[in-house]
Amino acid sequence: LYLPDNGELVIGTGDDLKVYHDGTDSFIHGITRDGSSGTRYLKIRADETRMVNEANSAIVARFIDGGANELYHNGLKKLTTYSAGVEIHGSEGANCELYLYADEGDDDADNWKLTTLAASSTFQLQNRASGSWETNIEANGDGNVELYHNNAKKAETVSGGFTITGTATATEFVGGGSGLTGVGETIG
């Protein structure tokens, strides 16, 4: 069966499904000729459905019956669904990044990023409010957690407790604060 550009393969008693090529793009169109609502869903049934690139050399998306759904970028798996949620994959030797954009991401203050760094076991939460990426929180595997203000570290966990850089303000100390120490002196 050969149809020229804009020739339609029409299927269904009410012309419910059309398959055609307009000279540039290809279409599977579920609608009747008179423009009224046609096919409700396009169902592709298989144990596994794969979408591949034009050269048929790399997977673009993979949908497994009763299992994972996977999205690929340039042939590399980037996102996988599984029973408890979603996995995001970085490329070998590269960071893994998840961008979150509020309010359409049209202003720098709307942009946030979660990153795992490839060269270490470091996880970062960053914002772009200043026009460039700045760290808010950094967590290091088997190590410290750091808190930042305007990209400057202000507090971190250490093996013996917690270290603050700058001024610490508290409204109350439990136990009278007798265990707190200041610069060269005990407080409380």
Q: How far, in Å, are 4, 49, 61, 90, 147 from residue 117 at the CA level?
A: 52, 33, 26, 10, 17
Put simply, whether the predicted model's pTM sits higher than 0.85 gets the answer no
Give the bridge partners for 143, in sequence order.
none
Question: Does the structure show a pLDDT above 80 at 81?
Answer: yes
Per residue in 83-112, pLDDT (tens digit) is 999 999 999 999 999 999 998 888 999 999
Check if the beta carbon of residue 56 is closer than 8 Å to that of residue 50. no
Q: Which pLDDT belongs to residue 10?
A: 87
Whole-number pLDDT of residue 49: 94
pLDDT above 90 for 137: yes
Share of the chain above pLDDT 70, in %: 87
Residue 139 to residue 157: CA distance in whole angstroms: 10
Q: Which residue has the higher pLDDT, 37 or 23?
A: 23
Distances (CA, A) of 40 to 13, 17, 37, 43, 153: 15, 10, 8, 9, 54
What percentage of the chain reaches a pLDDT higher than 90? 60
